[in-house]
Chain A
Amino acid sequence: MTTSGLVPAHTGKQTATGSALTVEDLDVDLGGRPVLRGVRLHVEPGELVGLIGPNGAGKTTLLRSVLALLRPRAGRVLVGGVPSRPGRSVIGYVPQRHEFAWEFPISVEQAVLSGRTGRIGLLRRPGAADWRAAAEAIDRVRLGELRRRPVGELSGGQRQRVLVARALALQPTLLLLDEPFTGLDLPTQELLDELFAGLAAEGKALLMTTHDLVGAMESCARLVLLNQRVIADGRPDELRDPQVWMRTFGVSERSPLLRIVRAG
């Protein structure tokens, strides 16, 4: 159950409308070079899916395609059964921490509220519903006590939680997380792990890119191994075959990576 033949079998079972996210035969080129080829992927409500692959495998490109920020060469992306469009699809996007201007003089509360800018619309002020959504999101990530703190004074883990709250302020059914664990210490990672598991339990669909294999095998319901194509897609215990990991990461059989996989 570990070859790529498993992938169509998996997607075949699902109807497109039931999935929070369905990616169908996606081809994406960047600067004329192929980055993604024939990518098929689905994420169900209540599922935390780990997207794993080496640098340059196309993980971020896949996330940007889901957000419809890139025009694919072929294939399509359905969010809640409808083709993805910026501003129309309700996707909670949690970018890598360095994408955000942390030196900006803005409080946690305001930063989270800024997630709803597109929803509020031009020439309008945030209304009661917007403030309520922001407050709920802040409570959800347990930053209530820091709501008035300038974002520049937060630790790495707190910053990551601000980005999650900003995404949650849109009340999305689908969350895209780009490397949420990078540069965080273990206790902070654990805290975030609990948060993501909780969000999945509430019925949200989460797709997360990560380099943290140990954590991903532990916390993700399903892993998708990506390197231009989907190399394998299955539960962590279905992915014990070293071959798929060697193909995904282009490493030899002596790589310490494989010890982690077998131990997991």
Chain B
Amino acid sequence: MSIIDFLHDLTNPDLAFLPKALAIAVMSSVVCGVVGCYVVLRGMAFIGDAVAHAVFPGLAVAFVLQGSLVLGGAVAGILTALLIAVFAQHRRVKEDSLIGVFFVAAFALGIVIISRAPGYAGSLQQFLFGSITGIPDRDLYTVGFTGLAILMVLLLLHKELVAVSLDREMARSVGLPVFWLDIVLYVLVTLAVVISLQTIGNILVLALLITPPATARLLTDRLPVMMLLAPLIGGGSALVGLYLSWSYDLPVGGTVVLVATAMFLSAWLLAPRHGLLARRWRGAGRRHAERGRTTGPGGAREATV
């Protein structure tokens, strides 16, 4: 299917769900791209995964009660994130083990709840893998406003979140509320996950949070650039993924994630400074040059990984 045909379908009133799905997929990918920068830079990928699991019982309850999925998921995700933050104050059991316990338990609870609902098999698949049909109009606004709110909070707390990510002890010593900043970040991650669930699905949403920022990180050493590139890559993946999914009748969540993964692999190979090819090429050049480590300005010394 050509791009023109895709544009035709987007404007076809019989296919009204298609532009809606596209708008939601792009908006949520953009938001996830920005939030994901913090997740990637702090090595919180596991927490992102965990939050994605934790929202599931909320979705299940919302589904059974015919309520708002976004609201249900947000409540469940935030509750579980708070539980972790509180339990993590005791150092006997490490945070990653706690996450392993609580978030998977939450997921299990979701499965049990949704199994009580009639015709659950179909809806289960929709939750897990995403779908572009059956999105109510009001979700468009919920996703839009929630996304804007998330970006606003990140903009306002950027300096503090960076300071905490750089060095927690120093952040504490200058009086920053490190615990509350962690909570805010967890809540923002949860909200970003929840607004992305509709189209991408519970399992694949992690990719929106991690892959575009990781790709952006390969392309730049500057945080502002990274935080601009990541949502572009995420939004672009959503757009291209939805187009491919519509054209070839592929599952939308999976297609979007595979497009993002393709971008990551391309960046891995082709990134101007840190890509595999650039390294190889520089490595060959360096063997001809002087040996030994230069550390002064203009030196070719690389950070050890």
Contacts and interface: CB of A to CB of B under 8 A. Distances in A.
Residue with the greatest number of chain B CB neighbours at <10 A, chosen from A86, A99, A170: A86
Contacts of A152: 221, 303
Interface stretch (B44-52, B72-80, B170-178, B239-247): B170-178
A259 interface: no
A117 B295 contact: no
B23 interface: no
Interface stretch (B25-33, B61-69, B129-137, B157-165): B157-165
Contacts of B165: 101, 104
Interface stretch (A7-15, A87-95, A217-225): A87-95
A88 B174 CA distance: 8
B173 A86 contact: yes
Contact of A115 (B160, B170, B217, B220): B170
A93 B175 contact: no
B48 to A, nearest CB: 18
Contact of B223 (A64, A69, A85, A106): A106
A257 B222 CA distance: 46
B41 interface: yes
A145 B296 CA distance: 9
A145 B297 contact: yes
Contacts of A114: 159, 162-163, 166
Contacts of B280: none
B154 to A, nearest CB: 13
B167 A86 contact: no
B282 interface: no
A35 to B, nearest CB: 16
A188 to B, nearest CB: 9
A111 interface: yes
A87 B160 contact: no
A153 B176 contact: no
Nearest to A101: B166
B176 A87 contact: yes
Contacts, number: 101
B136 to A, nearest CB: 35
Interface string A103-123: 111110011001101111011
Most chain A CB within a 10 A radius of its CB, from B156, B297, B303: B303
Contacts of A111: 166
Contacts of A64: 169
A149 to B, nearest CB: 8
A30 B222 CA distance: 39
A118 B176 contact: yes
Main secondary structure of the interface of B (DSSP, over half): helix
A255 interface: no
B175 A102 contact: no
A86 B166 contact: no
B303 A119 contact: no
Contacts of B162: 104, 106, 114, 117
Contact of B303 (A122, A125, A153, A157): A153
A243 interface: no
A158 interface: yes
Contacts of A102: 303
Contacts of B302: 153
Given A104-B165, A150-B221, A86 B303 contact: no
Nearest to A170: B174
B181 to A, nearest CB: 10
Nearest to B167: A100
Nearest to B42: A101
Nearest to A66: B173
B166 A123 contact: no
A105 B303 contact: no
A166 B171 CA distance: 12
B166 A118 contact: no
Contact of B170 (A95, A103, A105, A155): A95
Nearest to A93: B173
A117 B169 contact: no
Residue in B176, B221, B297, B301 with the greatest tally of chain A CB atoms within 10 Å = B221
Contacts of B295: 154-155, 157-158
22 contacts: A64-B169, A69-B169, A69-B173, A86-B172, A93-B173, A95-B167, A99-B168, A104-B165, A105-B41, A105-B220, A105-B222, A106-B162, A106-B222, A117-B163, A117-B174, A118-B163, A118-B175, A120-B159, A123-B156, A152-B221, A154-B295, A157-B295
Given A87-B175, A107-B222, 18 more contacts: A67-B173, A69-B172, A86-B172, A87-B176, A93-B169, A93-B170, A105-B41, A105-B221, A105-B223, A106-B222, A117-B160, A117-B176, A118-B176, A122-B160, A125-B159, A152-B221, A157-B295, A158-B295
